[in-house]
Amino acid sequence: MKSFDDLIDGYRKFRSGAWISQRERWSELAEGQSPQVMVIACSDSRVDPTQIFDADPGEIFVVRNVAAMVPPFETTPGHHGVSAALEFAVQFLKVREVVVMGHGLCGGCKAALTQDLHGNDPGQGGFVANWISMLDEARAPIAASLGTESREAERAMELAAVKVSLANLRTFPCVQEKEGAGALKLHGAFFAISDGVLHLLDEDSGEFSPAA
């Protein structure tokens, strides 16, 4: 695993390699960005959207957090990082598509399933517990039918989390307006770390299937 010094070595390679070979692109990006797709993904180090989708600099607007969650629209006081990023992407960058990408072996979804962190103080797992409590309602039927310890239950939780975030996206007025007008499309996706297969959600059937 790389240390910070290793990252600086990587930066040097970037400056002498990709920065030079893509200099024209970087010059264009210095004038602004205009990605068509926003990807909401997990912070997990194993699921980098730019790598999975083979995207170049400036091609996708990425937001990453624990379990790739989108909170519901709310105007309560506080810092709303995901909501701010969504607003910026939809209203100002005018992205045409938003992808929620969950993944296999997600620690956040596992914690939501087991609820091991519930009741912890902030700084001791409480921040994570509060964040993933957004999945409590979706968790209940999974825990009731599959328990909380099996890989099958974890996978069900991971897929359910994508659907929860999509539903929460649709509580935002700007998303409602643009999706209703056909100016914005929402997609659900799931990347399986174990085999590298990307699965796409068919919202009509509620099923995930491998991308062609």
Rounded to an integer, what distance in angstroms lies between the CA atom of residue 115 and that of residue 108? 10
Residue length of the chain: 212
Judgement on whether residues 55 and 1 belong to the same structural domain of the protein: no
Judgement on whether residues 98 and 164 belong to the same structural domain of the protein: yes
Which of 157, 170, 180 has the alpha carbon at shortest distance from 104? Answer: 157
Judgement on whether residues 3 and 80 belong to the same structural domain of the protein: no
How many structural domains are present in the chain? Answer: 2
Which of 67, 191, 75 has the alpha carbon at shortest distance from 127? Answer: 67
Angle between helices 136-146 and 151-169 (to 10 degrees): 150
- Which residue range(s) make up the domain with 41? 33-210
Contacts of 170 (CB under 8 A, 6+ apart): 176, 179, 186
* Digit-coded pLDDT (tens) for 136-160: 999 999 999 999 999 999 999 999 9
Rounded to an integer, what distance in angstroms lies between the CA atom of residue 201 and that of residue 190? 8
Judgement on whether residues 26 and 39 belong to the same structural domain of the protein: no
Q: Is the dihedral of CA 137, 141, 102, 150 positive or negative?
A: positive
Judgement on whether residues 23 and 5 belong to the same structural domain of the protein: yes
pLDDT-derived band of residue 38, with 50, 70 and 90 as boundaries? very high
SS3 (DSSP) at 138 = helix
Judgement on whether residues 185 and 116 belong to the same structural domain of the protein: yes
Whole-number mean pLDDT of the chain?
97
Cβ 109 vs Cβ 157: under 8 Å: yes
Judgement on whether residues 60 and 106 belong to the same structural domain of the protein: yes
Rounded to an integer, what distance in angstroms lies between the CA atom of residue 69 and that of residue 169? 10
Stretch 76-87: mean pLDDT: 96
* Digit-coded pLDDT (tens) for 179-198: 999 999 999 999 999 999 99
Distances (CA, A) of 170 to 160, 167, 185, 186: 16, 5, 11, 9
pLDDT-derived band of residue 175, with 50, 70 and 90 as boundaries? very high
pLDDT for res 80 = 96
The amino acid occupying position 25 is R
Judgement on whether residues 22 and 117 belong to the same structural domain of the protein: no
CATH number reported for the structural domain that contains residue 96 in this entry: 3.40.1050.10
pTM score, whole prediction: 0.96
* Digit-coded pLDDT (tens) for 39-66: 999 999 999 999 999 999 999 999 999 9
pLDDT for res 10 = 97
